[in-house]
């Protein structure tokens, strides 16, 4: 199998950054995308110092369709893409729906759903000509089980799971694999973002048990990418051992 190149959205932190370093460590060329340019170039420096791979960065706001497509289209024709890790996503707020902010709905829908569509559609011409094309969507168990205060976030992740299945069907004639990875609680900046900077509330989410870490998810993504050409894992649902599902976690 020749060298493959993977585009990772939301590569500036958490699961995206862990995927970037893990894939680079395993010989994949990577394209890191995200909003925060300084974080992207920092990670690029780290990767190119450590690994003999090609590492490109593209800074754009995934909620802005034009900026996203301009960035993708700025890649030279020689810059092939074999796989995409649609990881950019966030939750904002965990209060009841009646107290939620419409601006937060827009940000979640624009990033988690529309952003994923824009990127996937925008790179389709490159995926189509790859020998090992693969779309990996980072979903969530929140897309399987709605929980209190989850409303729009849960809906976006249900959409990601649904789109994964639809795309799997539509892209079948093109031989493009489409997979979803649906993790439970992963200790990253996720909760700090959800609770809008409230570190105490964020830390409480992961207290009293051993949650997943970003690296655990990155290892699964690597496993999916390394499967033989004729094998597609359509969805992986993964949680910490202490978490059975969205409602049942054993905490000390």
The site for ligand 8X3 (CB under 6 A) is made up of 140-142, 184-185, 246
For ligand 8X3, give the closer residue by CB, 127 or 155. Answer: 155
Q: Burial, 131: exposed, middle or buried (Cβ in 10 Å; 0-12, 13-18, 19+)?
A: exposed
For ligand 8X3, give the closer residue by CB, 137 or 140. Answer: 140
Helices 214-226/14-25 angle, 10° precision? 50
Rounded Cα distance between 216 and 9, Å, is 18
Nearest to residue 9, comparing CAs of 59, 75, 81, 76?
Answer: 59
For ligand 8X3, give the closer residue by CB, 57 or 156. Answer: 156
Minimum separation from the CB atom of position 123 to ligand 8X3 (A): 24
Contacts of 62 (CB under 8 A, 6+ apart): 9, 10, 33, 35, 68, 88, 110, 111, 115, 118, 119
For ligand 8X3, give the closer residue by CB, 27 or 208. Answer: 208
> Which residue in 28, 51, 147, 153 is the catalytic one?
153
Minimum separation from the CB atom of position 246 to ligand 8X3 (A): 5
Rounded Cα distance between 59 and 72, Å, is 10
Minimum separation from the CB atom of position 40 to ligand 8X3 (A): 23
Rounded Cα distance between 1 and 19, Å, is 20
Minimum separation from the CB atom of position 109 to ligand 8X3 (A): 15
Does the annotation mark 28 as catalytic? Answer: no
Residue number closest to ligand 8X3, CB atom:
140
Tell me which H or E stretch contains 236: strand 235-238
Minimum separation from the CB atom of position 153 to ligand 8X3 (A): 7
Backbone CA torsion sign across 93, 95, 100, 101: negative
Rounded Cα distance between 156 and 218, Å, is 21
For ligand 8X3, give the closer residue by CB, 25 or 236. Answer: 236
* Catalytic residue list: 153
């Amino acid at each position: 199998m020749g060298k493959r190149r993977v585009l990772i959205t939301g590569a500036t932190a958490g699961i995206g950054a862990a995927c970037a370093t893990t894939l680079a460590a395993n010989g994949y060329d990577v394209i890191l995308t995200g909003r925060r340019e300084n974080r992207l170039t920092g990670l690029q420096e780290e990767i190119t110092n450590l690994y003999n791979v090609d590492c490109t960065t593209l800074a754009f706001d995934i909620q802005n369709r034009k900026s996203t497509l301009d960035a993708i289209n700025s890649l030279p024709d020689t810059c092939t893409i074999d796989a995409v890790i649609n990881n950019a996503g966030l939750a904002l707020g965990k209060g009841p729906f009646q107290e939620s902010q419409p601006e937060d709905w827009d940000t979640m829908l624009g990033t988690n759903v529309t952003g994923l569509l824009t990127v996937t559609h925008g790179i389709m011409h490159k995926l189509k000509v790859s020998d090992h094309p693969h779309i990996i969507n980072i979903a969530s168990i929140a897309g399987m089980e709605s929980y209190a205060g989850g409303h729009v976030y849960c809906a976006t992740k249900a959409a990601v799971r649904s789109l994964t299945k639809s795309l799997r069907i539509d892209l079948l004639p093109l031989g493009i694999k489409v997979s979803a990875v649906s993790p439970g609680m992963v200790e990253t900046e996720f909760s700090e973002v959800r609770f809008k900077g409230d570190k105490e509330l964020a830390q409480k989410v992961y207290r009293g048990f051993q949650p997943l870490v970003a690296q655990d998810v990155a290892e699964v993504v690597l496993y999916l990418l390394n499967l033989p050409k004729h094998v597609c894992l359509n969805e992986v649902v993964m949680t910490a051992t202490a978490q059975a599902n969205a409602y049942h976690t054993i905490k000390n």
